[in-house]
Structure 1
Amino acid sequence: MTDLVIRPLVAGEEHLFTSMPDPLPEVARNSYTDGIAAGGYRPDRTWVALRGDRVVARAAWVLPPGAVGRPWLEWFDLDAEPEVGAELLRAAHAALGGPTLYHAAMPPNWRCVPAAMPPMAAARLAGLVEHCERWRFTRTGTPAAVPPGRYTFRPATDRAEITTLVARIAAPQILTGTETARAVAGIDLATDPLAWLPGPPQTWRVALRDSEPIGLAAAAGDVCYPMIAYLGLTDPEALDALLADAVVVLHAAGAREVVADADADRTGVVAALERAGFRPVRARVTFTPAG
């Protein structure tokens, strides 16, 4: 058998990374070439395992320009036994100053997809521990009008009102891009969303019951794509209505696709998103260094 060579790329070898066929083409992700051009990916943070001239494993750590944290493993594919992937990760970790977070992009049904298993098994062999799983949902099409009921909605008055309501919500139901906010800027989207989300306070929607605020949603149409960036409630029964209101507001502003992220194990939130017309398109399984 041809000897295995594991090493980082050098400048001009980016084609080696892209020469490996994508084992999960159904998972949408930003291209490696675009990431190199933008500066988030770099050859010295990109590692490959080669047998002869064939790439059998590839891994790319990303750190966007201006980010405050360490690079995290964003792209890891394996066309070999898990031990090969683990050997690659251990070599890269030694060169990069130790293990880092690994955000594994997988199809939502990844447990039934054989190609999804080898890199996750390799991560475990290399000492990473599965921490959480979040799903990305998207919705297209014209939404139905928000049905009348016990809840009403209005724009947030100012930043102070948003901050007050966020402090009352222990566990927001929807946080879209929370991993990126923490990795890039060190911001906890659950407790300090205004530090991450641009736009005026009036883009936030406040849910009211008997004229009292009981939750809010960031209907963020001015970020990388229209999304429900934050949604939190002190009255969980208002979830369907606030979701419907946020989608209507984004659609009225021109959005044709709306994105939302939720923890995979919050079955009530997942069910509410599906009732609102959202469908899961990607799982993001986060691994952390052991200890």
Structure 2
Amino acid sequence: MTVEPNDLTMRPITGREELDLFSRLPYVLDDELADDLTAGRRLPEWMWVALRGDQLVARAAWWCPTSDDAPFLLDVFDLDDRDGDGVDAGVKLLRAAMAEVVPAGARPPEYIRMVPPDWRETPAARRVVEDRMAALEQLGAALLVERLRLEWRPGTPVPDPSGRLVFRPVGDTEEMISLMTSVLDGTLDAHSRDDLSRMSAREAAAAHYEEELARYRSPHDWWRVATLPDGEPVGFVTPARNDYNAIIGYIAVLPKHRGNGYIDDILAEGTRILAAQGVPRIRAATDVGNVPMANAFRRAGYVDFERSINMTWP
């Protein structure tokens, strides 16, 4: 426990019995916290509060995939927006918590914040976003990207196959990683570009596979490689389920085949596979700046329901 001279007490929660305390500052992920604790995606020692007496003035929490023992994302960070020194309290809380949660010498986990699509046009929402970003910036984080979060809903038409492409299951892990390596050439994705600044394309693809795709709890035989009729690969899609929703996990067209509209066929195939499972929704995301991919999702009937702010440390 850390106590500041101004009587700000900062500590992790003691367990799920303090979830009501932690949830006094509302956020869209609150309904997932209890299940995440049960599944081991969160630990009480990763869920910190800053208290002034009985008042919760800031909170922060980290998340990891099931079975991991290190935090993967900082995905809850809230301030009491009625408090005049909320940003200052948030900085102090994060500084104290990160010293305990983040392994010594490790790069701090990425920060992600879900925000309304129109957050810039709504003064109250804009203040919420910018105050939290300001606190993170004081601790060395910088904006990596803003992302669109999209959703397909049952009843939305899915185009019939055009016949231009043939779809088959992915052969094995090596084929998947090789395809992922190829599509990094000329990628518009900010996370991929960040990875490529620190590692080779092959290393980036392998890390992405191990840290995300390999963890999907849905069958890998849902994944599809798109080919021309002669068998030449054009792209791929990985329809899947994560711990919360059906998702289009990864979708891409190989560099030599970009610009031919194949992304529409590939996205339609991934959507068909998931829609056939009777799912209540399909979630997807892409960078705001990746206009071709964003437009493909919209043509396929996916609607923007949210955005995310992603910040990283050097």
**TM-score scaled to structure 1, two decimals?**
0.79
Q: Does the alignment pair 1:109 with 2:109?
A: no
Moved more, 250-259 or 271-280: 250-259
- 1:153 aligned residue (160, 166, 181): 166
Rounded to whole Å, the distance in 2 between the matches of 1:103 and 1:223 is 17
Shift of 1:40: 3.1
Higher normalized helix content (fraction of residues): 2
Which residue of 1 is the match for residue 193 of structure 2?
none
Rounded to whole Å, the distance in 2 between the matches of 1:173 and 1:6 is 43
Q: CA 1:28/1:108 → structure 2, altered by over 3 Å: closer, same or farther?
A: farther
Rounded to whole Å, the distance in 2 between the matches of 1:16 and 1:193 is 32
Q: CA 1:6/1:283 → structure 2, altered by over 3 Å: closer, same or farther?
A: farther
State whether residues 161 and 269 of structure 2, in contact with CA within 8 Å, keep that contact through their aligned partners in structure 1: no
Secondary structure class of the residue paired with 2:239: strand
Rounded to whole Å, the distance in 1 between the matches of 2:94 and 2:47 is 11
- 2:227 aligned residue (208, 212, 223): 208
Which residue of 2 is the match for residue 181 of structure 1?
none
Shift of 1:250: 1.9
Secondary structure class of the residue paired with 1:158: coil
| Structure 2: 5+ residue stretches without partners | 191-204
Which residue of 1 is the match for residue 182 of structure 2?
168
| Structure 1: 5+ residue stretches without partners | 176-185
Secondary structure class of the residue paired with 1:31: helix
Rounded to whole Å, the distance in 2 between the matches of 1:105 and 1:41 is 18
The code of the aligned residue for 2:136 comes to A
Which residue of 2 is the match for residue 281 of structure 1?
305
Moved more, 266-275 or 104-113: 104-113
- 2:277 aligned residue (253, 258, 263): 253
Alignment of 1:79-90 (within 5 A): 79=80, 80=83, 81-90=86-95
Shift of 1:157: 5.8
Which residue of 1 is the match for residue 196 of structure 2?
none
Q: CA 1:4/1:153 → structure 2, altered by over 3 Å: closer, same or farther?
A: farther
Aligned positions, number? 275
Q: CA 1:267/1:39 → structure 2, altered by over 3 Å: closer, same or farther?
A: same
Which residue of 1 is the match for residue 44 of structure 2?
43
Shift of 1:239: 1.0
Which residue of 1 is the match for residue 78 of structure 2?
77
Rounded to whole Å, the distance in 1 between the matches of 2:176 and 2:299 is 27
Rounded to whole Å, the distance in 2 between the matches of 1:260 and 1:217 is 12
Q: CA 1:45/1:194 → structure 2, altered by over 3 Å: closer, same or farther?
A: closer
Q: Does the alignment pair 1:230 with 2:230?
A: no
Identical aligned residues as a percent? 27
State whether residues 174 and 231 of structure 1, in contact with CA within 8 Å, keep that contact through their aligned partners in structure 2: no
**TM-score scaled to structure 2, two decimals?**
0.74
Shift of 1:67: 0.8
Shift of 1:173: 7.8
Rounded to whole Å, the distance in 2 between the matches of 1:193 and 1:49 is 32
User: What does the per-residue CA deviation read over 1:88-131, in whole Å, with 9 as the maximum and x for residues that have no partner?
Assistant: 11122233356722222323333342322222211112222222
Shift of 1:217: 0.9
Secondary structure class of the residue paired with 2:248: strand
Q: CA 1:168/1:29 → structure 2, altered by over 3 Å: closer, same or farther?
A: farther
Shift of 1:272: 1.2
Which residue of 1 is the match for residue 207 of structure 2?
188
Secondary structure class of the residue paired with 1:189: helix
Rounded to whole Å, the distance in 1 between the matches of 2:275 and 2:66 is 32
State whether residues 174 and 228 of structure 1, in contact with CA within 8 Å, keep that contact through their aligned partners in structure 2: no
Rounded to whole Å, the distance in 2 between the matches of 1:167 and 1:32 is 35
Q: Does the alignment pair 1:134 with 2:147?
A: yes
Q: Does the alignment pair 1:217 with 2:230?
A: no
State whether residues 134 and 262 of structure 1, in contact with CA within 8 Å, keep that contact through their aligned partners in structure 2: yes
Rounded to whole Å, the distance in 1 between the matches of 2:41 and 2:242 is 22
Secondary structure class of the residue paired with 1:277: coil
Which residue of 2 is the match for residue 33 of structure 1?
34
